[in-house]
Each structure stands twice: as structure tokens, then as C-alpha cells.
Homo-oligomer: A and B are copies of this chain.
Amino acid sequence: MATIYDIAEKLGISPSTVSRALSGRGYCKEETRKRVMQAAEEMDYAPDQSAKMLKTRVSNKVLFTVPDMCNPFYFDMIQGINDVLDPYGYLLILMDTKNRLDEEKRAIQLLREKYADGMIMVSFHFCEENIDLLNRLQAPVVLTNKYISPVGKDHFHYVWVDTQEGIKEVVRHFASQGIRRIGYVGGRLQEQTGRERYEGYRDGLQEAKLSLRAEWIRESDYTEQGGYLAGLSLFDGSHLLPEAIICANDLMAYGFLRACEEKQIRVPEDLLLAGMDNLSLSSRTYPKLTSVSLQAEEIGRTAAEMLVRRMNGYNQPIENVKLLPELVVRDSSVSHRLTP
């Protein structure tokens, strides 16, 4: 592959002139510029990015990490991120951290090694360890969870949705229909995301003066299969079944639906169901799934916008954006019985 030196030599000029001609920065006679352009074309020249990066210290890449590649939610986020980043010429590096701390640390390491200029990170669990590494980092980072480390002085931005409020809203939705036995399928309680949503459930019940019963609660992993297994396990007991189930995300709700189908439990006739994420799928399942919209695309867009501002070097104060969840009621959560 030809370099600017080859072009310079061929034209009998200096490499720096070639560089100026090609980049358009710095003075250069129009005529020489034309000659350079033509020679570059003829010699099939293409600038070498690694050399450019080494010199300029920018990679024009953004790292986006997700805890589960299989979840379409992140795909929706990508749309938003890409919408914003593309016009700036940023490339997107996609990484699946598989909800594992070591992979998240690896992502952070990639940033340290300047694989990318910035990162948007989705994690179920921000903890001292990864937060600490993030704070050490020079590069701009945007998280999609609310997180304020005990120490304070955080170096990252975040955009977040009040999922706790979202789940509470679902509880209210059920309670307003006179439902009293509400079950819950969530994520791991040790994880931030899992705890937040669970607390929404718990507080929602309390607010509605409903009782919380362990046999109606399952801890799962946000996957379709996890929701399916949680469903089977719930139906397995000899205890009184709940009248309604809240799944902490749509994927689990789909799995739960599958379990219902298998066990001949009709939704919404025998059991009401709601999820969270409002995947585009949810308006097409049968029955159509009630879900809390988290505005995936909007999260992506907002996160990307914050990141771009930050990467453009405006050493802005750390900003955080809160987005509001919105309950989208569909068939799966509406009781056909008359409300009392």
C-alpha cells in the first residue's frame, strides 16, 4: 500500500506537502493539491488509520457494552446511539460483557488502551470495583444506570430511567383493578438493577396495602429461558397462585407466557401479566403484552449525545439525565372480570 512518502517521491515534493494537500489543513497551492490528489488516486493511496491515530490521539470509535447481546432492548439502544454518532463519523464497537465483571473490566481496559475515544456502558451491576476503574479512566464514559459512588466526585455521566417508579406504576395498575395477589419475577437482588426493580415492587405493594409473599416471587436472569423456568417453578407449588405477575423485563415475560401456554394457564383470563422494556415485539405477542416503556432508543440517543459533548473536549460538568418510564397497557394485564 502506498504511503505519503511514495506520493511525495513520485511528485518530487515533500511528504508534509502531501499531508497538507490531502488533509486540507495548512497552506497548499491549488495546483500541487490537484497533482497530489491525482497521484493518490492513481497509486491507490489510503491513509493509515493507526499512524493517524498514533499522531492525533483520536480513534473515532465509541465502545458500547451490553450485558446480554440476546436482548433486543440493546438493539433498540443501538439505533439511537448510531443515529447520533454516525453524523459525527464515529464508528461503533459493540461488546457483550455477558453480565460478567471480568468482561466489564476488559471493556474498561480497552478504553485505557485507546481502542475507543469513549464508552457507553450498560451493566446490571455497578459496584465499587468497576466504578473505581471507570473513575480512574481518562476517557469519557456514559452509564445507563443511576450511580453515585460513596466517595463522590464521579467522572462519568449517566442517563437513567426510574425503573422503580415504573414497576410501582404496574402494581398500581393491577391494584386499581382490584387485584390483590401480585407476584414478581425479577433479577438477582444482589445486583443493582435487580434490587431497584424489586424495591419498586415491594414499595408498590406496600403503598397499595397488599401483602408480599415469598412464594410468589422468583429470582431470575432477564432471559426468555429464565422467565420460562420461573413460570414453571411458580406453577409447580401447591400454594395459591397469584392473580397477576410482574416480570422485570419483557424477555422474561415472553418466557413466562410460554410457561403459561404449556401449563394451560390463560393470560389474561386466568392470570394477568406485565413486563418491562416495551420491546417492539410486545405489541405483537399473543396476548399483547402490557409493558413499561423504558425508551431504549431515547436512552441510546441521550447517552450518545452526552458522550459526544464530552468527547469534543468541552470539559463540561458531569451531567445526568433522568428519563421517565411509561406504562403501556395492552391485553395481557387487563382483567375481563368486572372490577369489584
Tell me whether A1 and B138 are in contact in the complex, defined as CB-CB below 8 angstroms, given that A93-B92, A96-B86, A284-B254 are known contacts: yes
Known: A46-B112, A285-B284. A91 touches B92 (CB 8 A): no
Contact with B along A245-274 (1 / 0, CB 8 A): 000000000100100000000000000000
A74's closest neighbor in chain B, by CB?
Answer: B75
A34 within 8 A of B: no
Chain A interface, number of residues (Cβ within 8 angstroms): 42
Chain B residue nearest to A53 in the complex (CB): B50
A192 at the B interface (CB under 8 A): no
- A329 near B: Cβ within 8 Å? no
What mask results when residues 130 to 141 of chain A are scored 1 for a CB within 8 Å of chain B, else 0? 000000101000
Residues 108-140 of A at the B interface (beta carbon under 8 Å):
109-110, 112-115, 136, 138
Task: Give which listed residue, B54, B70, B95, B284, contacts A79 with CB less than 8 A.
Answer: B70
Q: Does A49 sit at the interface, judged by CB under 8 A?
A: yes
- How many copies the complex holds: the figure is 2
Contact of A113 among B49, B61, B78, B96 (CB under 8 A): B49
In angstroms, how far is the closest chain B Cβ from the Cβ of A35? 21
A82 at the binding interface (Cβ < 8 Å): yes
Q: Does A324 contact B (CB under 8 A)?
A: no
Task: State whether the Cβ of A151 lies closer than 8 Å to any Cβ in chain B.
Answer: no
Flag if B281 contacts A48 (CB, 8 Å): no
Which residues in B have their C-beta under 8 angstroms from that of A109?
Answer: 46
B50 touches A114 (CB 8 A): yes
Scan residues 60-92 of chain A and give those whose CB is less than 8 A from a CB of chain B. Answer: 61, 69-70, 72, 75, 78-79, 82, 86, 91-92
Given contacts A91-B93, A285-B285, 13 further A-B contacts (CB under 8 A): A1-B138, A44-B136, A46-B109, A46-B113, A47-B113, A48-B54, A48-B114, A50-B57, A69-B82, A70-B79, A75-B75, A82-B96, A281-B281
Q: Could you tell me which A residues sit within 8 Å of B by CB distance?
A: 1, 44, 46-51, 53-54, 57, 59, 61, 69-70, 72, 75, 78-79, 82, 86, 91-96, 109-110, 112-115, 136, 138, 254, 257, 281, 284-287
